[in-house]
Amino acid sequence: MSLQDDTRTPQRDRFTSRVGFILASAGSAIGLGNIWRFPYMAGVNGGGAFVFVYLFFVIFVATALLLVEFVIGRHGRSNAVECYRKLSARFAWVGYLGVLTSFLLLAFYSVVGGWTIRYALQACLGRFGGITPDGAGAFFGSFIGGVGAPIAYLFLFMGATAFIIAQGVAAGIERYSKILMPVLFVLLVALVLRSVTLPGAREGLRWFLRPDFSKITLGVVVAALAQSFFSLSVGISSMTTYASYLDREENLIQSAFWVALCDTAIACMAGLVIFPAVFAFSMEPAAGPGLVFITLPAVFGAMPAGTLFAGAFFILLVIAALTSSINMMEVAVSFFSERFSADRKKVATAYGSVCFVIAVPASLSFGVWKEVTFLGKTFFDCYDYFVSNIALSLSALMCALLVGWVWKKGAMEELSNGGTIRSAYVPFWFWTVRYVSPWAIGIIWLESVGLLKPLAALVGLDL
């Protein structure tokens, strides 16, 4: 397929600048996982050696998949479903899968987003001053196990997301990304400078970054591959949707590498904030919500001017969560507003309301409904399992097959802007998408459902 004129679709809202698109896309990729998962994985899996392996996969695998969504989106110039349909009617269901996946992802992600708002307010009010790890753990457990407070903060987070989406692409997504992302970066730099200058911070720096290639096993390589894949928001058609708002002249290759660079830099800087401070106060490094909502409040509580830095950190978390949730909601709002020629503000309000209702059971999963399970999983866990273990890998695989084996040379023409961008990366990218990406995605899926280790053991490999 060749490039087509813009006249084939009605005039749509679009990004007004390359910087706006890059910041919005980077904001989508820079989510809570970058703050609480990547740094810990690096620390326990070889430090700088893990970062090196991770960067290799970001450059040669994950960025290629990011570009897959970019070329599909810009070529289609429509919502995710129509973008896939225009390439092949047989693949339209991938767009529908993206809409469903983004819906469930936003539902449980917004629960945690609400937590970040509560903690930002508590931090700014100085409530973490002198708090102990046990006290922080008790506060966290009491809060998420409640009913009214978690749902109220969930409502605030969902409302903020819907408000920005309702403003449109240029006036909403782009405008707020240009505000929020620089603020996030400034806060992060300030926190890095504070953390690395704390007495005893050197041990944390050593734990996080010192290369230890003896820890790089096959299992660690797979972990780095999976982290690079999930880190760039590939698999929910979100980047397809964002790219559909681009001009034909945009250099997708440069934009993709800028997004990957921003995402990786923020993840590494988060590690420079967290672990020097954790080790400076002789606390155990952890991963996930326990690191952010239990360990760090105690760290800030013991730190000079801790209220200031705790406030800055949790405001940073709110921004990271919000810039990702905006992207999740846009996938569906774009689809429904275009499919039914509906007013964007009304669609955003209605969609946000429905998503809020679906998110409530996920919020209650930590309290009064924690005993309500399906196959041993709470509502929160069910949403997470479907998105992380089924939908993301399936969608990414279908995208790679569509571009590499159905669209073929037309994808290279789209990426090269009709041949005007002459780069050796274009054929390399196509080869990667066709022959490397499907295998990489398959490995990630096998790992996510717990089948990789048994299969590896059958052929004598130790993970």
Residues 12-56 have pLDDT tens digits of 899 999 999 999 999 999 988 888 888 888 888 888 888 889 999
Query: Under 8 Å CB-to-CB from 171, ≥6 apart: which residues?
Result: none
**What's the first-to-final CA gap in the chain, in angstroms?**
42
Q: Are 43 and 246 in contact (CB under 8 A)?
A: no
Query: For residue 94, is pLDDT > 60?
Result: yes
- Write down the pLDDT at residue 215: 83
Q: How far apart are CA 276 and CA 198, in angstroms?
A: 8
Which whole number is the average pLDDT over 280-287? 82
Query: For residue 1, is pLDDT > 90?
Result: no
Bridge partners (DSSP) of residue 377 are 374
Query: Under 8 Å CB-to-CB from 344, ≥6 apart: which residues?
Result: 165, 166, 168, 333, 337
Q: What is the pLDDT confidence band of residue 216, given thresholds at 50, 70 and 90?
A: confident
- Mean pLDDT lowest among 54-58, 114-118, 179-183: 54-58
Structure tokens at 352: 């946000």
Q: How far is CA 325 from CA 81, 234, 318, 338, 373, in A?
A: 20, 14, 10, 20, 26
According to the 3-state scheme, what is the secondary structure of 289-337?
HHHHHHHHHHHHHHCCCHHHHHHHHHHHHHHHHHHHHHHHHHHHHHHHH
* Sign of the C-alpha dihedral computed for residues 124, 130, 134 and 138 taken in this order: negative
**Average model confidence (pLDDT) across the chain:** 92
Query: Under 8 Å CB-to-CB from 410, ≥6 apart: which residues?
Result: 1, 2
- Write down the pLDDT at residue 8: 42
- Write down the pLDDT at residue 198: 94
What one-character DSSP code corresponds to residue 28? H
Q: Are 323 and 177 in contact (CB under 8 A)?
A: yes
Q: How far is CA 326 from CA 119, 432, 462, in A?
A: 20, 30, 40
Which whole number is the average pLDDT over 258-284? 92
Rg of the Cα trace of the chain? 22
Query: For residue 199, is pLDDT > 70?
Result: yes
- Mean pLDDT lowest among 94-103, 139-148, 277-286, 336-345: 277-286
Three-state DSSP state, 263:
helix
- Write down the pLDDT at residue 3: 42
> Contacts for 356-362 with beta carbons within 8 Å, 24 or more apart?
356/110, 356/154, 356/155, 356/158, 358/103, 358/104, 358/107, 359/106, 359/107, 359/108, 359/110, 359/111, 359/154, 359/158, 360/151, 360/154, 362/107, 362/108, 362/111
Residue type, 37: R
User: What percent of the chain lies above the pLDDT cut of 70?
Assistant: 97
- Write down the pLDDT at residue 9: 45
Three-state DSSP state, 377:
strand
- Write down the pLDDT at residue 10: 52
Which whole number is the average pLDDT over 318-334? 97
Query: For residue 455, is pLDDT > 70?
Result: yes
For residues 240-253, b (16+ Cβ closer than 10 Å) or e, as one string?
bbbbbbbeeebbbb
Domains defined for the chain, CATH in brackets: 19-458 (1.20.1740.10)
Structure tokens at 338: 């275009």
What one-character DSSP code corresponds to residue 374? B
Which whole number is the average pLDDT over 190-207? 93
- Write down the pLDDT at residue 40: 83
Residues 83-93 have pLDDT tens digits of 999 999 999 99
Q: At what angle do helices 306-339 and 18-29 cross, to 10 degrees?
A: 110
Cβ-count burial of 402 within 10 angstroms (0-12 exposed, 13-18 middle, 19+ buried)?
A: buried
Q: What is the pLDDT confidence band of residue 250, given thresholds at 50, 70 and 90?
A: very high
**DSSP result, 150-219:** HHHHHHHHHHHHHHHHHT-IIIIIIHHHHHHHHHHHHHHHHHHHHHHTSTTHHHHHHHHH---GGG--HH
Q: Are 102 and 236 in contact (CB under 8 A)?
A: yes
Which whole number is the average pLDDT over 138-158? 97
Q: What is the pLDDT confidence band of residue 461, given thresholds at 50, 70 and 90?
A: confident
Query: For residue 110, is pLDDT > 90?
Result: yes
Residues 425-450 have pLDDT tens digits of 999 999 999 999 999 999 999 988 88
Residues 377-412 have pLDDT tens digits of 999 999 999 999 899 999 999 999 999 999 999 999
The residue ranking higher by pLDDT, 2 or 339, is: 339
